[in-house]
Amino acid sequence: MKKILLATLILATFFGGRASAQNPNPAGAPTPGAPTTATAAPGATPAPPAPVGRKKRIAIFDFDYATVQTVSAAAFGTNVDVGKGITDLLVKYLVQDGTYSVIERQALDKIVSEQNFSNSDRANPNSAAKIGKLLGVDAIIVGAVTQFGNDTKTTNVGGAGGGFGGFGVGGFSHKNTKAIVNIDARIVDIDTAEILGVAEGHGESSRSSTGLLGGGGHWGGFGGGGVDFGNSDFQQTILGEAVKASVEQMSAGLIADNTKLQVRTIVVSGLVAAVDGGQIVLNVGAKSGVKVGDQLSIDRITKTIKDPATGAVLRQMTTPVGVVKVTDVDDVSAVCSPISGTGFKVGDAAKTVTQ
């Protein structure tokens, strides 16, 4: 019996050793040379995702259309702001693309009105830069409509018959009708008024036996000086096809130029000028980069360290007082409401770093 048990033990040892030699890696162990995946220890906090920077923020001024105003009025039968129509269509395409964050027209119109911005300023980089700072954007886009409606720049507008150069308008048709729209845009740095990038758009369409505004069903989408160039019926007309093609081409150029813009980092430093009930007034405003919604930390200066040789201030020691949020702003001051902290005093330091 002892001999049988001994033989069984020897055989088990022999075959067990062979199995280990054929499979050197125990179950669950990685194969040598194979990639491995690190596993966090139970209860460990996973690493936070890498921060993503904000989109570059732009505002778009209504395009200047002074050079084509006569021919566009002949085409529509009334003075239509085709510059605004071009701008609205451009905004639509840029918002759909998502590369830029585009400031809402309502905010832009408010600032433009407050600054007495005239139509003649539409393509002025210096005026654009000033408005851009008040809006807190990274760049402003200005542009102009340089050709609208036909293939000659020196067009004789017809009289009561509605003639439009050599091309049909509305219900007046000629054998071959051709529309051409040319536009250009410039990206303006709001700090220097430098032109960072340019983009052009060219669109043309031709059709026989119809007019510039023919072929668009019952389109009549203008009135009160405005026009909806995004209207599907208008975009089926010869003129609408040319407008659409030119704006699409220009928007592609502006999107490609996004690398020429830098996300602005604004450092604002000021002082509390007044404390009135629940409102804190600062001595810095839009000219310094402050905008509604910004949050600023308020600190109290407890000690000023000066260079004993020159008297120059080396450092100011401070203690935190609280945080305030901007609710209203003008060029040189800002009104804030407290978010945290109490006991704000005149002379307290206000600071923020925003993008």
Instruction: Write out pLDDT tens, residues 294-341.
Output: 889 999 989 999 999 999 989 989 999 999 999 999 889 999 999 999
Residue-level pLDDT at 25: 46
Tokens in use for 116?
């007495």
Domain 56-260 class, CATH top level: alpha beta
Tell whether the torsion through CA atoms of 94, 99, 105 and 111 is positive or negative: negative
Count the neighbouring beta carbons within 10 Å of the beta carbon of residue 226. 13
Q: Which residues of the chain register pLDDT less than 70?
A: 1-53, 150-175, 208-226, 353-355
Instruction: Please report where in the chains the tokens 């989109």 appear, as a residue.
Output: 55
User: Is residue 221 within 8 Å of residue 234, measured between CB atoms?
Assistant: yes
Residue-level pLDDT at 197: 93
What are the sequence ranges of the domains in the chain?
A: 56-260, 266-354
User: Is residue 171 within 8 Å of residue 211, measured between CB atoms?
Assistant: yes
Chain segment 56-87, per-residue pLDDT in tens? 889 999 999 999 999 888 888 888 899 999 99
Tally helices (H) and strands (E) across the chain: 7, 13
Residue-level pLDDT at 149: 79
Predicted model pTM: 0.60
Q: What is the DSSP letter of 158?
A: -
Task: Quote the CA–CA distance of 75 and 69 in Å, as a whole number.
Answer: 10
β-pairing verdict for 56-60 and 100-102: parallel
Residue-level pLDDT at 210: 59
Distances (CA, A) of 200 to 85, 237, 252: 17, 22, 9
CATH superfamily of 266-354: FlgT, C-terminal domain (2.40.10.410)
User: Is residue 269 within 8 Å of residue 297, measured between CB atoms?
Assistant: no
Written as one string, the DSSP assignment of 28-70 is TPPPTTS-----PPTTPPPPPPPP-PPPEEEEEPPPB-GGGHH
Residue-level pLDDT at 327: 93
Task: Quote the CA–CA distance of 28 and 114 in Å, as a whole number.
Answer: 71
**One fold for 56-260 and 266-354:** no
Residue-level pLDDT at 270: 92
